[in-house]
Every structure is written in structure tokens, then in C-alpha cells.
Structure 1
Amino acid sequence: MKITDASMTRFGRFGGQFVPETLMQPLKELAEAYSRLKVDPQFRGELSALLSNYAGRPTPLYLAKSLSRELSRKVYLKREDLLHGGAHKLNNVLGQALVAKTMGKTRLIAETGAGQHGVASAMVGANLGLDTEVYMGEVDIERQKMNVYRMELLGARVIPVRSGSRTLKDAINEAMRDWAGSYETTHYLMGTVAGPHPYPLMVRELQSIIGTEAREQILKAEGRLPDSVAACVGGGSNAMGIFSGFLQDEATKLIAVEAGGRGTSSGLKIADHGACLNLGEDGVLHGAMTKILQDPYGQILESYSLAAGLDYPGVGPELAHLVEVGRVTPAIADDGAALEGFRRLSVLEGIIPALESAHAVGFALKDPEALGEIAIINLSGRGDKDLATVMEHEGGEGI
């Protein structure tokens, strides 16, 4: 089954380049440079060395024995939380930053919600000697103070965004405005599989190392492919990263777990969730046609999730396409389910997951039958950054 055509700017009817004229030239230059460099042996060798010796790949595929006993099936965790920096984000930024440096760029800008992409951007900026500035909404700065400090410690400048909902959506808006006026010296490090072409394709390909490794590892461990692969979804880079290794294996169910937030049946005017694949409608956001949260007049709604990295009113266009053609199954885990996943994985396995990843764990706890006999959950990040948020949610009394 052919899912997408990698030579195209679209995934079915989703994707494209819906941007101001000022961004068309930098997008064209970026697409051409990436297309050339990704097959260049020297570039591939340098990226591979950094992924191995700096980032720490490959990451393990871990059989979570206690979680497996609780769910009465084998559950493996793809341990992206063990990557340098504590999340999958470094896979993408290493590749993009190397492209930028080869293009002669001297400055990186990025957006961040949970802070992990910002931290990864700051890391690669320090490593490659590039000035780095990170746009971050005021709401996210408050709930991710540790990651803000990490970015600044690594030499990056964190720029507060005070417009709109003051979260990830608005940070992306400001980063794109910056890039439109500075692209001659600046590269915009998009953190997810959203935005205009070539970002959805480029980020997915750079994150596909997760799926490539996971496929090889599960075949070695079990002698067969898994019945399911589950991952949390905000923009969708960790999900597309691991899904890419199994897209052509139709017997493997791909489960995209979105943020249900406070719940999805309240009927509130302001969205109480971030479940775009489940509840979104066609629309254009950040330069691409995709599924977004919007009101009857086409205005973007404010999303909500306890996990800052899932607090986004859109989703990557390739994921929207894969759901539409039936290859990816959308699911929802609300804040309560995510907190339960956070608690249970910590107690059962001695692994504290990021609140984002905890949504996929929470879904598994809620609906284990959906996983089949053998499942992989992509543990996209670690939970150190979320301890203060969880403690505050629990009234300061702990878990």
C-alpha cells in the first residue's frame, strides 16, 4: 500500500505551502538544500556520527515486564527518553542544523512548547557554534521553568511570546515572522511534522530513525512484527518517526493518541483538548492544509492539555492524511488518563515518562485490548521536566 509520494509537497489533499510570498524563497532554498544533502555521503556520515556519539543512538527497545503483566500482553517501550537531552527532539535538530550550517546560516531560531525542542535546539547550537534563539509562550515558560533554565545554560536566548494563547501555536507564529525577515542568515528549526513543505517531509525523515531501529529490534526480540505501535500526538514528530518504520506493514495497527485535556464532551466554546485528528476540521494552520480546531467561522480555537507539548490546535498534514485513508487509528487520552500513565509507569517500571508520552501509556491502561498481543509504545521523553506540573496538579501533596 503506497501511503504518500515523498517527491510531492502534499500528502493526499493535505500539506502544501500556504505562506506569504516572503517565505517562498527560503522554503525553496531549504527544500533544494535538504534534497541534495540527504543523499550526500559526507553529510550522512557526519549526521550518523553525531547521532551515535553525541545523541546516544540507538536507543533501547525495552520489554516492560511489570506493565506487560498488568495489561496481560507484551508491551515494549522505545526508549527515546534515554536520548541525550531527554527526548526524541535531538534526532530532528541535528539534521536540520547540519543542513543550515552547510547552507552558510549562522543563526538558528526555534519554537518550543514543552521545552524539549528548545533544549535540543540550544544543544545543537552550542555543539555546532550557531547562535540560537527560542520562542516560547509565557504560559509554557511558567510551567516549564527547568527547561527554560537549561536552554539559557546552553547559551540560547529564550524569547517570551505574549500574544494569543501564549502557548506553542503563538511561538510558531513569532518564529515564522522572524524567519521571514532574517532568512539570509537564519534557519528556522521547525520542531514537528507541521508547517509548509519541506518541513513535514524533512522532520519525518529525520525522525524515521526511531521506526527503523524499533522495527529491527522487535524482529530480533520476538521474531515478528508487533500487533500495534502507539505514540502520543501533538504536532506528531515522534509518532511519524516510529510509525514510518511500520507504514507498509498493514497488519501492524498504528495508534495516534491525542490529548483529551479536561474531556471532549463539554461543548465549551474554547477547546478543552488538543484532539485534532479526532475532532478537528480541514483548515490551514502555519502554512499547511491539515486538521485543526476551529470555530464555525474558521477562527483557530485555543487548545488545552496538561502536557505543554500536546497543547497545539493542529497536527501534521501527513498524519491527517494517514487517518483519512485508514492507516492510522486516532485515539484520545485525557489529563486523568495521562496522569494515571505517569503514575503507573513510574511505580511499575521505575521510569518516569514525560506527560506527553504518558498519554500513550494512559491509553494502553484504559484500552489494553486495542494493543493486541505484542505492542510498542514510543516513550518520546522523560518526565523530569513535568514533576512541578504534576505536583501542582496534585495540590502539592505528591502523587
Structure 2
Amino acid sequence: MMQEQLNAVVLPNENGFFGAHGGKIDHPGLAVAMAEIEAGFRSIIGDADFIAEMKRLQQTYVGRPSPLYHAKTLSQRGAQIYLKREDLNHTGAHKINHCIGEALLAKKLGKKKVIAETGAGQHGVALATAAALVGLECEIHMGVVDMAKEHPNVARMKILGAKLVPVSAGAGTLKEAVDSAFGAYLQDLQHSMFAIGSVVGPAPYPELVAYFQSIVGHEARAQFQSQYGGLPDEVVACVGGGSNALGLFNAFIDDSAVALVGVEPAGEGLDTQRHAATLTLGKPGVIQGFHCYYLQDENGNPAAVHSIASGLDYPGVGPQHCHLKDIGRARYETATDAETLAAFLTLSREEGIIPALESAHAIAYALRRAAQLDGSQRLLVNLSGRGDKDIDFAIEQLKL
């Protein structure tokens, strides 16, 4: 793989593209707002005082570095399985990594409010937390289906002071929440900032979110070398929009011997319409202001999608992942709802760690893959979130 191809994964070109994917929005009002956010982002990442404040909050507020854990019981299946414990971050997932950055950026730009979508509620909770920390109003748009599934996170957002907007249009899930949040943002571009929850959307969001999530991979790479010697054979993460996966992948992109594996939701099966396997079965096109692979209906519109994990229930995917797929640097596997529930229970009962259903997709693949390899092979999995939010729903599904 040529070096310029690798650089294109990490940084977009001047038009916001990673290879053939990404791009800037052509909506007049939003284009101006995106340019303001991009200029602010470029400014803060070169500001020593901002970097120092981020590092302080990462250590004293988020609880970084998150530990690397050798799951020895799971590893009895074959390959050794290691977990990057993002579930131990404050708010319980990787989302806090970019939410603090977005909140500080909004404050720097003189905004009064942050507006965002959320699926499983982890981004909503993290953004509400960050907004409370820096003194901003927070408005979260969430599909009614996801609100019913993720009641604990709904309660957390309310306690943290966020205004929660239920979205009942369409399927009432993540895509509709994004549409609704962008609509609200358009009504108040001067005083608010859209704080997107993944590496999706028009430029500069894919680069911005990837920048703040990159700490996951840089920590994990250094920890693995220090604690276990060398590098893992595969790094694994679930993929919906793709922020936790890209956060882990980024530090290993130049390590050609390390396989990058994203795990998408196969839902009720790839031979059904009840899945969200975007990179596996999607087609290229433009969705919500950026170019990517997305699941389409017969008319080329975003298809209805499904995943047992609300945070993966999205028909598109981040442009960096699309580019990684195109150049063959990453491969994308799938896990069904049934496999995910089984992995959720296995990790809980064999290691005493209850994962988010999103993260359980990556665990499902790791268990399957470990059995195909011997004990000398090493799999590093991003445990992107904890399962507190999913407990009631999982108990119902598992009939416990």
C-alpha cells in the first residue's frame, strides 16, 4: 500500500474527502457554519493551552488512560484476547473522548448550546456531561424506539440537564434523530454548534471526531508493547458510524502486519432486510451531506436498518472506513443479534464484565476468530462501552 494512500486515511484533502468518500456540504447556511467549526478546530489543535486542558481533563475527569486487560478465560478458546477498557471511562463509553473536545470547541467559538443526535444514548450522555462541565445548554434528539430500549441513558441525560427531543418520524431510530437534530441546528446557527456523535457527516466532522478518538489507539499501542511485547495480530472493534473503531485503528494503520477488523451488525441475517451491515452490503452515494457506502432501497434512498444495538442502527458509515475498505487496509466482518447476545452473556459470566450490546458485536467476532487460531495469536478488542444501559433489554431478550 502506498504511503499517500495511508495519509489519505488519516487526513482528508482540501475538499474533505478521504479517497472517494466524505466531502463538504453544499447547503449555503450549513456550509458557512461548517467552515466556522473547521477554522475553530484547526485553531484549537494548535493551541498549547487547549491541548494542556484536554490532557488534564482526560486524566482527572475521564480517567485516562483506560486499562488494557488480558481476558484469560475467553482466551482458553484459542487466540489470546485483550480488551481496551473504554467502558471504564467516565460516562461508560468512548464517546466522552470527543464530546469534551466538542464542548470545549463550542465554548471557544462563543456558542451557548450544543445540539446532537444519539442512538444508544452514550453520545447523548457524554455530551450532556461535557456541556454541564463547561456551562453550555445541551439539546439531544433521540428516536422513540431507542428511548424505549435505553431508558437508563434517557434518565441520565435528563438528570444532567439536557433537553431531550423524542423523534417519532420514520423508523424512530438513529437516522431520524440525525435529521431532526440537523433541522434544529439550522434554526439557530449563530448561538449553537452541532456536536456529531461519530466519524460521519460532512467535513470537518469525520476528521474532528477521529482526532479526539485517536487517543484510544495511541494508548492501546503503547500499552500493548509495554505490557505484552510486540503488537497484536488483529485489532477489532464494532462499526456503526465508526468512531470507536477508527479511534483504535488509527495508531496501527502503518503496521502492515496488524489486521484491522471492523464488525458490523448482521441483525437477523444478511439474507433479510433486518440488518445494518453497511460496508458489507451497502452501495456508494451521498447521505446526510457526505459520500459513503450506505444501505439503499430500490429507489436509492437510505434503507430501513436494524440492529439489536441502538448505537449501530445507522444506514451509513464514516468515510475513513469506506476508504480503508477501498484500499484493502481493513476488513469488515459481521455478527448477528443472536451471536451478539451470546457474546454479551459470555463476557459477563466468564470475565465479570457486562459489555454494551454495541461492543458485544466485536466480542462475538473475537470469540469466533479465537477458535480458528492458536494460542500464539493475539486479538485486541476495543470494549467501547459498558452494558448498564442494556441490562433490562438484554434480560428480556435472553429470558433470564
Find the partner of 1:147 among 132, 141, 153. Answer: 153
1:346 aligns with 2:348: yes
- Residue identity in the other structure for 2:350: L
The structural deviation recorded for 1:366 is 2.1
Q: Which residue of 2 aligns with 1:38?
A: 45
1:293 aligns with 2:298: no
1:18 aligns with 2:18: no
Residues in 1 aligned to 2:48 and 2:161: alpha-carbon distance in whole angstroms: 31
- Residue identity in the other structure for 1:317: P
Residues in 1 aligned to 2:373 and 2:279: alpha-carbon distance in whole angstroms: 18
Q: Which residue of 2 aligns with 1:52?
A: 59
Equivalent residues of 1:60, 1:78 under 8 A apart: yes
- Residue identity in the other structure for 2:217: G
- Residue identity in the other structure for 1:187: M
The structural deviation recorded for 1:308 is 0.3
- Residue identity in the other structure for 1:85: T
Deviations 1:88-123 (A, max 9, x none): 000001001101101101101111000000000110
Equivalent residues of 2:12, 2:18 under 8 A apart: no
Equivalent residues of 1:19, 1:196 under 8 A apart: no
Find the partner of 1:279 among 273, 276, 281. Answer: 281
After TM superposition, the score normalised by the length of structure 2 is 0.96
Q: Which runs of 5 or more structure 1 residues have no equivalent in the other structure?
A: none
Residues in 1 aligned to 2:88 and 2:137: alpha-carbon distance in whole angstroms: 26
| Structure 2 counterparts to residues 115-130 of structure 1, below 5 A | 115-130=121-136
Deviations 1:317-337 (A, max 9, x none): 110110111001100000011
Q: Percent identity?
A: 45
After TM superposition, the score normalised by the length of structure 1 is 0.96
1:63 aligns with 2:67: no
The structural deviation recorded for 1:19 is 4.1
Equivalent residues of 1:339, 1:358 under 8 A apart: yes
Residues in 1 aligned to 2:51 and 2:156: alpha-carbon distance in whole angstroms: 29
Deviations 1:230-250 (A, max 9, x none): 000000000000000101111
Q: Which runs of 5 or more structure 2 residues have no equivalent in the other structure?
A: none
The structural deviation recorded for 1:370 is 6.7
SS at match of 1:65: coil
SS at match of 1:381: coil
Question: CA, structure 1 residues 361+7, in 2 after alignment: closer, same or farther (shift >3 Å)?
Answer: closer
Equivalent residues of 1:22, 1:180 under 8 A apart: yes
- Residue identity in the other structure for 2:394: V
The answer to which of 172-181 and 301-310 deviates more is 172-181
SS at match of 1:367: helix
Residues in 2 aligned to 1:373 and 1:19: alpha-carbon distance in whole angstroms: 47
Q: Which residue of 2 aligns with 1:325?
A: 327
Residues in 2 aligned to 1:374 and 1:299: alpha-carbon distance in whole angstroms: 40
Residues in 2 aligned to 1:57 and 1:286: alpha-carbon distance in whole angstroms: 33
Q: Which residue of 2 aligns with 1:387?
A: 391
Residues in 1 aligned to 2:260 and 2:26: alpha-carbon distance in whole angstroms: 31
How many residue pairs were aligned?
A: 391
Residues in 2 aligned to 1:165 and 1:379: alpha-carbon distance in whole angstroms: 28
Residues in 2 aligned to 1:63 and 1:370: alpha-carbon distance in whole angstroms: 17
The structural deviation recorded for 1:7 is 4.9
Residues in 2 aligned to 1:231 and 1:190: alpha-carbon distance in whole angstroms: 20
Q: Which residue of 2 aligns with 1:376?
A: 380
CA RMSD of aligned residues (A): 1.2
